[in-house]
Amino acid sequence: MISMFEPDAKGHFGNYGGRFVPETLMAPLQELETAYRHFQRSPEMQGAFRSALAHYVGRPSPLYEARRLSEYAGGARILLKREDLLHTGAHKINNAVGQALLAKSMGKTRLIAETGAGQHGVATSTVAAWLGMECCIFMGTRDIERQKVNVYRMRLLGAQVIPVTSGSATLKDAMNEAMRDWVTQIDHTYYLVGTVAGPHPYPEMVRNFQSVIGEEVRDQSQIMPLGHPDAMVACIGGGSNAIGLFYPFLETKAVALYGVEAAGEGIESQRHAASIAMGRSGVLHGNRTYLLQTEGGQIIETHSISAGLDYPGVGPEHAWLHDVGRVHYVSIDDEEALASFHRLTRLEGIMPALESAHALAYAERLAADMAPHQTLVVNLSGRGDKDITTVSTREGLEL
Amino acid sequence: MNRITKRLQETRSAGRAALVPYLMAGDPGIASTARAMHALVEGGADLIELGMPFSDPIADGPVIQAAAGRALSRGVSLDTVLDILVEFRIHDSSTPVLLMGYLNPIEQMGWRRFVDASVDAGADGLLLVDLPPEEAEEMYPYMQNCDLLPISLVAPTTDENRLRLIAGVARGFIYYIAVKGITGAAHDFDMNQLQSRIEWIRRHVDIPIGIGFGVRNADIAAQCARVADLVIVGSALVELLASQKDETVVLQTAQNWISELSLVMGRE
């Protein structure tokens, strides 16, 4: 559809992406690619996906003008793309529904996934229940500890949650363990990757499933003075909500695009998750991208108040969009995100996920430098209920 | 002639399979790795596979993951791995050594620099688990020019088209992954199936074929030796090497175990 922004036949976005996996996974990835190309061309499969988005997920999601927040920021009109209103409370469900339909069409009976904050785990458990498939979620023991409610949600949905104790016991290790499980049970298992990372075709496929976000914004912004927003902001862990919003606008150069990484305790602190700002190109989890790593190429532990952004890499397409300068990558620390979490809750009665609060924090700053007739769209990628324990603990309250 | 090629010609002439133990550089300790390598050769190892630790080893089971973690916590870097090899070469210039690891640390060093340094240190082959031939179009020819053999994997999932592609670039020997799974997997070997896969590979390549992943005891090793040209033992040995504190005892135990494998695999 937009040729300049498509990967090459081997899944490379510029120098990034590709397929760096053990030989055992090469043929299954080719099989997946073939099945996905069929899915893309099949009116029947596309129809099933669109219908599920409308009737199961609850799309389209509103584009809501946050007047009190705009007034507070003092500049551009801020509009929120309300992915938090979707079934299960975050954008993750768009991709989960798409890939689950694909998995079913391939004759797979078991879904596996990695999860950090638990949102992708919940989305995958949900679609597994919806389609009557077996489900196994890999989650680091440290994340299990800080996201107990989501762990219970997954179990209620019938998923088996497998604690991962290897390495740093967080999202990257859960992804390692999911890949190991996939290799072992490849015949009937489908690996439902939650973000725009991993070996080809995952980054392209997940982007395409998520690009419904940006397509809706394009339709919803027809009434704006320019027919599109002046700027858009989204948070970046792996980067699926951001690419979903940005992709349909990549060729519309008049739209300024901002991806917000997690600066954790500060970008100079060593305790952050800002892979583009502070990382170097390398190979992890099947693709080449920007990674937080030691000089010797060992992957390092990251930190963010938001478990969903706590990942040492970033989707390869983002790495490339950074290099070519189409998207500006910036960062927001824990304190700034937390302040925006409270601000949106109090000013608009909308409690954002801590991930999305990173995007909001940057948007407030950006809006202040823009004119009142200009518009700025923020991807409110998820709702904040899952984070209230993190917030209360941080503020010294035991619930 | 490359030491791997030469050694495999010798074992083939002797009518037996080569025994290839894997150990992780820096485990049980940095200073003891070269001594462990000598002990394995003493026990009957024909070729040694030296693991290079990586923080996120997706093809490895818990035993090798843990060994990599211990090695990294001891500060093992690629330079350390090559220092160990140099130390080994002081007393052993004939046993082939194959380096095995993951791509990222090598990219960070600069892969040309790494290939050159490996050859200088006395390495004979390199196996990068997460580097399929599709992504190695520049690296493999460079390695061949330096006489560092690019060792390629074939898996139970590999189809005919991929096997042709791999056959075109593989040098030294083909490493056949015996199982859909990770290193150290406990599974039942279906020898008939394994044999027919090996025969299928032989129709496409004229270099020797090794079997690895899950060869955890003498009985399995002996069976694999009847159908393949090399038998690779990893996790079982790594576990053994990590099982005791006393270095002399550990190395002797490892050597004895390798001798036992070597005997059942038909060495005279």
Does residue A383 sit within a domain?
yes
B108/A295 touch (CB, cutoff 8 Å), yes or no: yes
Chain B contact for A197 (CB, 8 A cutoff): no
User: What is the overall mean pLDDT for chain B?
Assistant: 95
The CATH number of residue A149's host domain is 3.40.50.1100
Contact A157, A137 (CB under 8 A): no
Out of A182, A206, A230, a domain closes at A206
Contact A85, A379 (CB under 8 A): no
Residues A189 and A118 in one domain: yes
Task: Determine the average pLDDT of the residues in B11-20.
Answer: 97
- Nearest residue to B57 via CA among B47, B68, B49: B68
pLDDT of residue B54 exceeding 90, the answer is yes
Residues A373 and A285 in one domain: yes
* Rounded (5°) CA angle A392-A394-A395: 65
Residues A330 and A383 in one domain: yes
pLDDT digits (tens, 9 = 90+) for B179-230: 888 888 777 778 899 999 999 999 999 999 999 998 999 999 999 999 999 9
Out of A147, A171, A206, a domain closes at A206
Indicate which of B104, B107, B160, B161 best probes the interface with A, i.e. most A CBs within 10 Å of its own CB. Answer: B104
In sequence order, which residues have a C-beta less than 8 Å from that of residue A270 and are 6 or more positions away? none
Residues A298 and A349 in one domain: yes
In this prediction, residue A363 carries a pLDDT of 98
A22: nearest CB among B59, B65, B109: B59
3-state helix, strand, coil in chain A (%, to 5): 45, 20, 30
B155: nearest CB among A24, A282, A296: A24
Does residue A106 sit within a domain?
yes
- Nearest residue to A357 via CA among A376, A377, A384, A375: A384
In this prediction, residue B266 carries a pLDDT of 82
In this prediction, residue B267 carries a pLDDT of 67
The CATH number of residue B168's host domain is 3.20.20.70
Domain that holds residue B95: 3-264
Catalytic residue among B27, B46, B49, B124: B49
Burial group, residue B40, by CB count within 10 angstroms (0-12, 13-18, 19+): buried
Does residue A198 sit within a domain?
yes
Residues A104 and A82 in one domain: no
Domain that holds residue A217: 60-89+211-394
Residues A18 and A148 in one domain: yes
In this prediction, residue A146 carries a pLDDT of 78
pLDDT of residue B149 exceeding 50, the answer is yes
Task: Determine the average pLDDT of the residues in B247-265.
Answer: 95
A180: nearest CB among B58, B154, B155: B58
Task: Determine the average pLDDT of the residues in B107-120.
Answer: 98
Nearest CA in chain B to A176: B58
A23: nearest CB among B69, B155, B185: B155
Q: How far apart are CA A34 and CA A362, in angstroms?
A: 40
- Nearest residue to A113 via CA among A174, A36, A37: A174
Residues A216 and A351 in one domain: yes
Q: What is the ipTM of this complex?
A: 0.95
Residues A232 and A201 in one domain: no
Does residue A263 sit within a domain?
yes
Q: Is the pLDDT higher at B256 or at A307?
A: B256
Determine the length of chain B: 268
Residues A226 and A328 in one domain: yes
Q: How many domains are there within chain A?
A: 2
Residues A237 and A377 in one domain: yes
B153/A22 touch (CB, cutoff 8 Å), yes or no: yes
Q: How many domains are there within chain B?
A: 1
pLDDT by residue, tens only, chain A of 399 residues? 456 789 999 999 999 999 999 999 999 999 999 999 999 999 999 999 999 999 999 999 999 999 999 999 999 999 999 999 999 999 999 999 999 999 999 999 999 999 988 999 999 999 999 999 999 999 999 889 878 889 999 999 999 999 999 888 888 999 999 999 999 999 999 999 999 999 999 999 999 999 999 999 999 999 888 899 999 999 999 999 999 999 999 999 999 999 999 999 999 998 999 999 999 999 999 999 999 999 999 999 999 999 889 899 999 999 999 999 999 999 999 999 999 999 999 999 999 999 999 999 999 999 999 999 999 999 999 999 989 989 999 999 988
Out of A183, A206, A229, a domain closes at A206
Q: How far apart are CA B76 and CA B83, in angstroms?
A: 10
Does residue A274 sit within a domain?
yes
Does residue A399 sit within a domain?
no
Cα of A15 to nearest chain B Cα, Å: 11
**Residue that has been written with the tokens 């690895």 in this structure:** B212
Q: Which two tokens stand for residue B93?
A: 């210039």
Backbone φ and ψ for B21, nearest 5 degrees, come out as -80, 145
B contact set with A (CB within 8 A): 54-59, 61-62, 65, 69, 72, 77-78, 102-109, 129-132, 134-135, 152-159, 162, 166, 177, 180-182, 185
Does residue A224 sit within a domain?
yes
| Catalytic site positions of A | 92, 114, 381
What's the one-letter identity of residue B130? D
Residues A142 and A265 in one domain: no
Known catalytic residue at B60: yes
Residues A64 and A33 in one domain: no
